[in-house]
Amino acid sequence: MTAQPEPVSSARRIAAPPSMSTLAAEALREMVLSGELQPGDRVIENRLTEQLGVSRPPLREAMRVLEQEGLIVQVPRKGAVVAPVTPHDIYEIVSLREEIEQIAVRLGVPVRSQERLDRLREAFADLEAAAEEDGAPGVVACSFAFHLAIVGLAGHRRLEDVYRSLSLQMRMCMAMNRRARAGIETARQDAGRHRPLMELVEAGDVEGMAHTLAHHGQRTYLLSIEDDAEGHSPESRAWFARIRQEEEEAMRHDGHH
């Protein structure tokens, strides 16, 4: 308490020196999310080391992280592939993601933490800016960031981590080539729905939030998937049927108004 030998405390916090393994993880993640690597593609270690300019050990650590995030799967002596996604997987990802949103608004909206609200407002501003300027995939990232900030209202790190992981997986699904257009289109449609969400947050309307999120736009992208008969489970089939019905009802409602 007598003397602090290091007065560089305020700027220090931000400057975290990123290790090679962390950088490799980010790069690999980006490759998956951008669609450069598609579900089912093999992930060869040697191939990537020269591509990313790192050695194999850090790359392997990065792959272990991606595996935990659900973006790739590793089979012990056979190698790794980008996680294939079946309709059942879509069901798991989206249903759990919605459940977590519900939990988060229930926990977080009533608290009204200024710090977290500011973070959300910032994400909202970014989203609106991105929606106006470029019609590019930047909107997708901002949309996910906005939703993440909503979940962040709860101040529940573990809840947020799970949500982040699921969002990554959902983005990976959207990057599958045949769906890509639908994904971006969905994001554009959603852009208009974010303002009502923001207003509900400001008003502290938990019920409204829960209801709006449950019928939020990112679902519409699911309708492009249903046809695939392969990889359905009984649960996923029933769930898709329910979603489709709800969406049709919502669209009919929109048409009538």
Which residues would be at the binding site for a second copy (CB under 8 A)? 16-19, 21-22, 57, 60-61, 64-65, 68-70, 76-77, 92-93, 95-96, 99, 103, 107, 111, 154-159, 162, 166, 233-235
- How many angstroms separate the Cα of 9 from the Cα of each of 4, 6, 17, 19? 10, 7, 15, 21
Alpha helices in the chain (DSSP H): 20-34, 45-52, 56-69, 87-108, 114-133, 138-152, 157-174, 177-191, 194-203, 206-214, 234-256
What are φ and ψ of residue 72, in 5° steps?
Answer: -135, 160
Q: Which does 65 bind (CB under 5 to 8 A by kind): DNA, a second copy, none?
A: a second copy
CB of 74 to DNA, least distance (A): 7
Interface with DNA, residue 1, by CB under 7 A: yes
Structure tokens, 230: 């392969």
Interface with DNA, residue 196, by CB under 7 A: no
Which residue, 40 or 192, is less far from a second copy as judged by CB? 40
Choose the stretch contacting DNA; rule: CB under 7 A; options: 69-77, 137-145, 162-170, 195-203. Answer: 69-77
By CB under 7 A, name the one of 7, 76, 234, 255 that touches DNA: 76
- Which residues, at least 6 apart from 196, have a Cβ–Cβ distance to it below 8 Å? 212
CB of 133 to DNA, least distance (A): 35
Interface with DNA, residue 34, by CB under 7 A: no
Structure tokens, 11: 């700027």
Q: Which does 55 bind (CB under 5 to 8 A by kind): a second copy, DNA, none?
A: DNA
- Which residues, at least 6 apart from 105, have a Cβ–Cβ distance to it below 8 Å? 150, 153, 154, 206, 209, 210, 213
Q: Which does 3 bind (CB under 5 to 8 A by kind): DNA, a second copy, none?
A: DNA
